[in-house]
Structure 1
Amino acid sequence: MNPGRGALEPDAVTALAADAYVYGSPLVRQLSAVQACLQEGCGTLAPAPFNDFAHADGPATPGTHTPYAPADLVDALAQLDLSGGPVRLHVPDTGGAYYVLQFVDAWGNAFAYLGTRATGTGEGDWMVVPPGWAGTVPDVVSGVIDAPTSVVSVLGRLACDGPEDMPRVRALQQELTLTHLGDRAHRTGLPATEAGVPGELRFFEELRVWMADFPPAAADRAYQDRFQPLGLLEEGISPYVSAGPGLVRALRRGLALGRLRVEEAARPHTVAAEGSPGAWRMIPHLRDYNLDHLGVGTLGSPEWKIPDREASYLVRAVAARRGRWLPHGYEAVYAHTARDSRGRPLDGAHRYALHLAQPPPVGAFWSLTVYDTPGGHLVTNAADRYAIGDRTSGLVHGDDGSLTLHLSADPPADAAGAANWLPLPAGGFRPVLRLHLPGQAVLDGGYVVPALQRLGDGLGP
């Protein structure tokens, strides 16, 4: 077969290739990340084989080179391979402390959660089983997690109140274990793509191989069948090793158009579209593209599903582009801003105040962290303080219960201001407000985070 010839004109092949990029880029991004975690590690996490956890040494510090890493959570990460059978996951008793384990399939769908919100903080054992598994479930397990694909990422986040809290967290890390229960050996790596495919067609080759090994939900397969003229459904020898020049041109153009479509959709809204200058941006519904596999700890009500399946593909691609492993909005929402209340860019040369008449409504905790721009990294400060929130000891509230946080390079002169101080880096910065288990007012827009007020410039607040 010579895909792309005879059936479709070049412009139609280009348009189809753009659709294929939007549809398939989450799969390629997700499995490329899995492969990197197995071979090279992920951020501060060392590489780990399938069915084993990698643990961070602690929360993010200025030495952490992962952009926008949290300063009050400790990461855990495991890549599961279920091709040889189920895996048993043991979770420890965290004594009421917040944690979450998020399960993500090969297509980037968060399909299950364990932890504080979903299953509580007690000890338990869970079976993670591959698609179509029909074995016997032992009586001793807490439940079964049905995986939509045979490769799954498990993202763990454990709350940590600073260096003095790390012994407790390390004990939990030791108890967070995986045991392979299958009767066959599991994979040691991902299905290999064919050598000899030109670099400009590598995306389509990865999509071709990985679509076959990790099929999507049944409802997606009819849409996927559209890509037959591109060679994406070909089995055996890759059609891209010796693709004709016409097909190569159409695929290359389609790839560029698809990327542009995702980039355009991922652009932040303008200030005018968001409302007032300095408005905080949050997207609690960016993960609503999972329409088919909603397991333990997920919410399947209509407000958490995109009604248009084809539209969900673009949202999924944007989510994969912006933050591959972020959770659903009902687990956590992250708000950020780049400007003050007058629309001026944030800069550490100035002093700012964030006045919270009411604290953010959350079921777990909230915290504010600042990062440099454009890198998105923590910057060393003399106070060694990188996050402030409702777990910070010694915060000073107003008589009416309000809370004013002070953001500046140097500490405020008064004791109350110093207690509520978050140090700023020199130059541009971006604050991120993390809301864990956000209340309904956050999710429906009823709670609005106030804009940062720039102080001391002689122009008023």
Structure 2
Amino acid sequence: MKKKILVFILVVITFVGCKKVNKAEEISSSNQDSAKVDLKEIREITKEAYIYGFPLVDNTRIQYAYFVDKQNPEYKAPWNTIRNIPRVFTSEDKAVQTPNSDTPYSWIGLDLRSEPVVFIIPPIEKSRYWSLQLIDLYTYNFAYLGSRATGNGGGAFMLTGPHWKGDMPKGITKVIQCETDIALGIIRTQLFNAGDLKNVEKIQKNYVIKTLSAYLGKPAPPKAKPLDFVKPLTPEEQKKSLEFFNNLNFALQFCPIHPSEKDLRARFAKIGIQEGKVFNPASLSPEVKNAMDEGIKDAWAEMADLKKKVVTGEVSSGDGFGTREFLKNNYLFRMSGAFLGIYGNSKEEAIYPTYYVDAKGEKLNGKNRYILKFPPGQLPPANSFWSITMYDQPASLLVANSLNRYLLNSTMLGQFKKDADGSLTFFFQSDSPGKDKESNWLPSPKGDFASIMRLYWPKEAALNGTWKQPQLVKI
């Protein structure tokens, strides 16, 4: 009996610091559900909620840097405004893990609370790949526009939030609904070579976004309240701090409960993880705090086990990206996508064969030298283009080097030197393989590294496994 009373007291203490974000109302300490939660269950729920919530928290961290914090060097633009970046990513870009350096980006932070927005896309020549990836707050890739999905003919595409109801206006090519109030749009426009940049800039300037009222020339509806973000955590803080759950509660208020998650969200609420509540770690008892700390460790242990399967190829990197329907609420896979390469494409749009280890299963390190060899006729099968990009580890950022070269890709084929038998051999190492081989050199850092291959609009041979990526061999 004494033990039950002690558990009740601990759980009550857990919830005293939880308040409404806007109204600052304390959660009642007489919550009947909370009295039923013991330390073991608190740990289990914490693990589940962390795995579920990591993509949302990391997503809001990036969105804060890109669309809210004007003092941040990574800031892009206000909400519902396109920011075109007329260049590719370099080693100076540090907000996003494993960024691509193939395609100049256009970024759009989407606030859909007040009204829909309309994307107006110009016609683009058929030979040039482009895509508009639409990502909700969960990090689901809920829709695509682009060469593969809708073609290069242009059009006007309307994006609505979860609460909007209405008919498709005249002149709209397609209506797409997002299940969260906050979302993200990423436009990738293919760059053929350095001299092609002006052509990309011209296309980017013709990407237009308007609110529906502006598109129709009608008065705008009342504006939603300003987005008052909580202070984001750094990636390292996210891994350990219980403030993580305060950031998660902030994000959840923009995520109406999906029917398939009604019971799950109710389970999270047992430990104060609920949309629109303030989660105050300082109010936790030492016992409850320890149980939650252990729950976070459990989540990362599961993530580490899954990463091993990704490294060995048992799980494809593409398994972590896609729609809710594709992922089937597999929250660990969704977390892996956010952790290993947030905003990665769905596999039908792009796949990402990875290199974390060499052919013998040993970790890649710049103290060694490696070759990657494509036999004749065995280059990556892509409808658009392919690339191989170098990243340091564990940060997964682009690597500064003397050539200012971050990748090798199919648009560079004319520059590469082939072997006598027609094979194509690339060199992965920190120092030059020799002037005569530098055209095929992908510079690595001095320490640990990984490399990601990208196939944009992959062909069926890549999707069904007929084509196999070659192994990276240490020499």
Shift of 1:159: 1.2
Task: Name the residue aligned to 1:216.
Answer: 257
The answer to whether the 8 A contact 2:76-2:107 is kept is: no
From 416, 425, 430, give the equivalent of 1:404: 425
TM-score of the two chains, using structure 1 as the length reference: 0.80
Q: Quick check: 1:245 aligned with 2:285?
A: yes
Q: Aligned to 2:180, which of 130, 149, 161? A: 149
Query: Displacement of 1:74 after TM fit?
Result: 0.9
Matched, 1:131 2:165: no
User: In the aligned structure 2, how far is the partner of 1:332 from the partner of 1:43?
Assistant: 30
Within-5 A mapping of 1:45-444: 45-65=74-94, 67-96=97-126, 97-182=128-213, 183-187=220-224, 189-191=226-228, 201-233=242-274, 238=278, 240=280, 243=283, 245=285, 248-249=288-289, 252-253=292-293, 255-269=295-309, 273-274=312-313, 282-288=316-322, 290-291=324-325, 304-306=326-328, 309=329, 312-343=330-361, 345-347=364-366, 350=369, 352-357=371-376, 358-373=378-393, 376-382=397-403, 385-392=405-412, 393-395=414-416, 402-407=423-428, 409-410=431-432, 421-425=440-444, 427-428=446-447, 429-444=449-464
CA distance in 2, matches of 1:221, 1:191: 26
Q: For 1:114, give the aligned amino acid.
A: L
CA gap of 1:71–1:313, structure 2 versus 1, over 3 A, is closer
Identity of aligned residues (%): 23
For 2:10, the equivalent position in structure 1 comes to none
Of 164-173 and 351-360, the range deviating more from structure 2: 351-360
Partners of 2:76 and 2:83 within 8 A in 1: yes
2:249 & 2:406 partners in 1: Cα distance?
44
Shift of 1:98: 0.6
Separation (CA, whole Å) in 2 of partners of 1:234 and 1:305:
23
- The alpha carbon displacement at 1:370 in A equals 2.8
Contact 2:372 2:470 in 1 (8 A): no
Cα deviation code 1:118-140 (max 9, x no counterpart): 01122211111121322232221
Q: Secondary structure at the match of 1:125?
A: strand
Indicate conservation of the 8 Å contact 1:17/1:250, yes or no: no
Q: CA deviation at 1:356?
A: 3.1
Structure 1, residues 420-447: CA drift from partner, whole Å, max 9, x if none? x134246344332211112222223221
- Assess, with a 3 A threshold, how the Cα gap between structure 1 residues 387 and 206 changes in structure 2: closer, same or farther: closer
State the Cα distance separating 1:39 from its structure 2 match.
2.5
Judging by fraction of residues, say which structure has more helix.
Answer: 2
Q: Which amino acid aligns with 1:204?
A: F
2:451 & 2:461 partners in 1: Cα distance?
21
Deviations 1:178-232 (A, max 9, x none): 11224325447435569xxxx9543333333432332132211222112232133
Amino acid at match of 1:102: Q
Deviation at 1:59, TM superposition (A): 1.1
1:296 maps to: none
Secondary structure of 2:317's aligned partner: coil
CA contact 1:340–1:346 (8 Å) conserved in 2: no
Which one-letter code corresponds to 1:267 in the other structure? K
User: What is the deviation of 1:396?
Assistant: 5.2
Structure 2: unaligned runs, 5 residues or longer = 1-27, 214-219, 232-239
Q: 1:347 is aligned with what amino acid?
A: G
Match of 2:48 in 1: 19
SS in 2 for 1:267: helix
Aligned residues, how many?
A: 424
The amino acid of 1:337's aligned partner reads: Y
Separation of aligned partners in 2, 1:161 and 1:167: 11
State the one-letter code of the partner of 1:438. Answer: P
Matching residue's letter, 1:221:
K
List alignment gaps of at least 5 residues for structure 1. Answer: 276-280, 292-303, 456-461
Distance 1:159 1:56, change over 3 A: same
Verify: 1:30 aligned to 2:59, yes or no. yes
RMSD, aligned CA: 3.4
